[in-house]
Structure 1
């Protein structure tokens, strides 16, 4: 058999595999053979990050099946046959508001009252709980790095030099990476645009900053983003995967601290996922459930992002999406 090397060959193969969804072989031996071949293909195509995510999030399948059973979702879907269903239709059909459980299957919005606190016997949110557990903290940091390895970044599509860094002076703060962990984004910026003047500042909590990547031109700074932002008048205040970790009321606090430090040339760059209203990637739905269960937060749709920015006193000037599948995007926001 000849190898599949051309883009058209691979595209044809994808089409044929999708068509199998509507023509499942009736012969059991053939069906099992296809299942085994498909499973082997998935494993061969997975990146290390894909494999880790598949294994780490497996427990969600059991949990969601239990919830679906509790609210009679499987029977409702079976009765609807092949008819498509919106989430609002299913919410009405399942009458989830009447399920007498602790939160009545409502979306949690309190980051200190989630399954995480119950499971770990703590009143702390996960990020504070991790601070005195260096092994867990290091493992978490390693996972966050590995999960995005090899993927595009906002610098691949957003014209940072043109829209943010024009007419810069060396002493002016250019880029403040708020909650930036050990500094991968700061390092990426310095390597991508080494000649741009202006200060690049990395901020995170003290135990994290202690392990910041040494990089010439990057200033590490211990800072809690729930408190006053000490860097005033920066061109760009950057938040990568921060907003999705917090319910809306906390997001408004975080954004408010930044807004008080901004001047007329400042922008907020929010680097996060913007979910489509339908057909959301399965990996994103896993993350969304994890945000809900661990942090009382969620991955937001475009409508939800615009609503949050409006509630915080911000307007969105521009949105640039740089990963089509996960919908990672840069939101450029300024005060109204």
Structure 2
């Protein structure tokens, strides 16, 4: 319960009325009333700020340190039971805990304890005591790309974060004490000498989970074409490759470009490791090319080389290698470098928590980081590039950094 603040204006009735009005407004609110992605983003930010002001210290501790980890646990168990998919296959109707237990082969009392927590967190709908309905969220868990997240967090990220405090303490709390092959992830997995990507190469199951999780993340983000005007690439363009998506996973971003400019499909290139591009989803005319970005770029004089969340996986030394492998292929005064990345704001409290949580994930998993604008300009300058413009949108956490060869 929040502590009442004395009202020096003697207007307690008005305060109570405002609180009642606010409760009615919140309870009546529907997602369908949001007009735009920008408005939705602003509402989430305002609601998060409001909740932080409203909660007591204990409620804040409980929300972050008890409730959220319990959600992770509950989701992992439900995903292991294939609960949401089996429920969907059975017709999606309202079901009791007993019916869901029979569907999954789980003890009813045990399952009920996880269902209750998901219901109290409004991830699962409670239509009557002990009876539940699926939600948009649980339907999303039935897709490989969203359903991979509980597994990815459980088997990769959480163990890394658990190891980090001791690793940092043992190494004197130095920001550069973690390396690509000797960091918190390596301590957690006993794989010193291997990068996380080396690890994935020898653990195909976890690699598939990671790729699915990253695909889900990429598919739901604000399109890069809503941040950067793709028509800019069509101005003064000459024959030859138009856009090379370097390290583009299975092709979500290049496919968005193809759909926006279908007549340019044959001039688009998707690059990633062979095991990744084998599952490419882009149109038939797009050239799918196995390529390791630590090797020289084989496609020369393209109008643009686009990298989405590639450099944030690597510390500066490795990021420089990637950029230096691109530079010789680029045509001075013509080719663009487009980096779709988070740019950490100086006033961080105005950012999404995704910015800082991803930064801590990159620290543990890759000895890498999310970078500030100054960091990006410095890194690109060292590689022989100059920043032309940083494109942003209120609807997007990430930005597009447009750069050219000096």
- Residue 247 (str. 1) matches residue 322 (str. 2): no
| 1:222-257 Cα deviation digits (max 9, x unpaired) | 111111111110110111110000000111111011
| 1:282-301 Cα deviation digits (max 9, x unpaired) | 22222111111111100111
1:3 to 28, 52, 56: 28
Q: C-alpha separation between the residues in 1 aligned to 2:404 and 2:245?
A: 17
2:251 to 162, 165, 183: 183
Q: Counterpart of 1:314?
A: 385
Higher gyration radius (CA): 2
- Three-state SS of the structure 1 residue aligned to 2:269 is strand
Q: Counterpart of 2:335?
A: 266
- Residue 230 (str. 1) matches residue 311 (str. 2): no
Q: Counterpart of 1:296?
A: 367
Q: Counterpart of 1:93?
A: none
| Cα 1:200/1:106, change in 2 over 3 Å | same
| Cα 1:60/1:262, change in 2 over 3 Å | same
Q: C-alpha separation between the residues in 2 aligned to 1:214 and 1:12?
A: 34
Q: Counterpart of 2:180?
A: 111
Displacement after TM superposition at 1:323 (Å):
5.6
| Cα 1:18/1:200, change in 2 over 3 Å | closer
Question: Does the Cα contact within 8 Å between 1:154 and 1:322 map onto a contact in 2?
Answer: no
Question: Does the Cα contact within 8 Å between 1:172 and 1:198 map onto a contact in 2?
Answer: no
- Three-state SS of the structure 1 residue aligned to 2:341 is strand
Q: C-alpha separation between the residues in 1 aligned to 2:283 and 2:401?
A: 26
User: RMSD of the alignment, in Å?
Assistant: 3.8
TM-score by length of 2: 0.62
Q: C-alpha separation between the residues in 2 aligned to 1:17 and 1:272?
A: 24
Q: C-alpha separation between the residues in 2 aligned to 1:63 and 1:267?
A: 40
Q: Bigger shift: 264-273 or 42-51? A: 42-51
2:121 to 25, 31, 40: 40
| Cα 1:17/1:59, change in 2 over 3 Å | closer
Q: C-alpha separation between the residues in 2 aligned to 1:61 and 1:41?
A: 28
Displacement after TM superposition at 1:42 (Å):
7.2
Counting only pairs closer than 5 Å after superposition, residues 72-111 of structure 1 correspond to structure 2 as 101-108=170-177, 110-111=179-180
Q: How many residues are aligned here? A: 296
Q: Bigger shift: 49-58 or 255-264? A: 49-58
TM-score by length of 1: 0.74
